[in-house]
Amino acid sequence: MEKIHISLTPQSRNYDVMVGAGALVHCAQKIATFCPRKILPVITDETVASLHLDKLENALAAVGVETRALILPPGEANKSFAQLETVCNFLLEQEMERSDCLAAFGGGVVGDLAGLASALLKRGTGCIQIPTTLLAQVDSSVGGKTAINAKAGKNMIGVFHQPKLVVADLDFLRTLDARQWRAGYAEILKMACLADAAFFHQLQQNGPELATGKTELLAKTIGRAVQGKADIVAKDEREQGVRALLNLGHTFAHALEAEAPGKILHGEAVAAGLAAAFSFSAQLGLCSASACDLVLAHLRQMGLPASLAEAPGGPFCAAALLARMKQDKKNRQGLIHLVLCRNIGTAFVTAEIEEQKILQFMKANLR
């Protein structure tokens, strides 16, 4: 079992991320300590409920905790005001108190929605993240970002609200299809590319073996990616500085997702955005062509898009993508802030790239 400790200020907000096969049963007693009324409201979706809800119910019943589940339809459309209201009303029906916790049991969509509801209800209740997808286990369940979408774009309405505990049970990943698994892997690769060159070279060697589901290797890989994120979040919880680096590839990615709702997975968009960030950096002379080529080759090796043109949901229009990028949350004073790279493992944020250059790059990368 891998244990990653998330350090925050004040220390009373610190929490652990537990990663491994059987993590749910292993952590059941700890989950119970966050349930003073021995009741745990669970927010999940139909897909996860049909596959895994009985496992959660049984694990918690064994430690004297009753689960009460709200089962939503699956999909990104859940990240809406309407579903946020549905979740909040359900929690109020459970007479949830400030000292109580809910469980976000699902992928990134459920985690974002339930986390936001937890933050808003009675001005703040507890949240336990129990992610069931690789992407959620390695990224979205950790760090406290919660949000719903808006017409203008993805994750535009949200708050920072750290969980009490994250339980990443690798057994849940056995039911992921190959496309969802690859999408999650993109976030692992992103962490290596922005801050850990040695990790990248490990992924080059181990990526195909990871895809076979080798549990011990996967636990260590997820643990390393989560530790990298934890180190950054500890320095900059609210993304005023270095945490923006975690958005490597995401300026392009969120634009792709906004232009193709429901047609592209977040991890697929991140992969295409990661490829674009390295390709653009190489074109601008900021990083070497050889470094860029290594990243693109590994994306293709793992069956992920290695350009904007290869992203599912296209064809895309460069001008439309640019318009979406101009609404990005990182932007300041009307300038697009991009995360670019000087090398594998060395990323930086810049607002000095002219919009026309970004547009011309995207037009070429979409061919």
Positions annotated as catalytic residues are 123, 145, 187, 229, 239, 243, 247, 250, 254, 266
Q: Are 254 and 153 in contact (CB under 8 A)?
A: yes
Say which DSSP state 7 is in: P
Q: Are 138 and 186 in contact (CB under 8 A)?
A: no
How far is Cα of residue 63 from the mean position of the Cα atoms in its chain? 30
Count of alpha carbons within 13 angstroms of residue 78, beta-carbon side: 25
Q: ω before 10 within 30° of 0 (cis)?
A: yes
Q: Give the contacts of 86 (CB within 8 A, at least 6 positions apart).
A: 70, 72
Count of alpha carbons within 13 angstroms of residue 320, beta-carbon side: 11
| CA angle centred on 3, ends 128 and 116, rounded to 5° | 25
Distance CA 211, CA 208 (A): 5
Q: Are 132 and 171 in contact (CB under 8 A)?
A: no
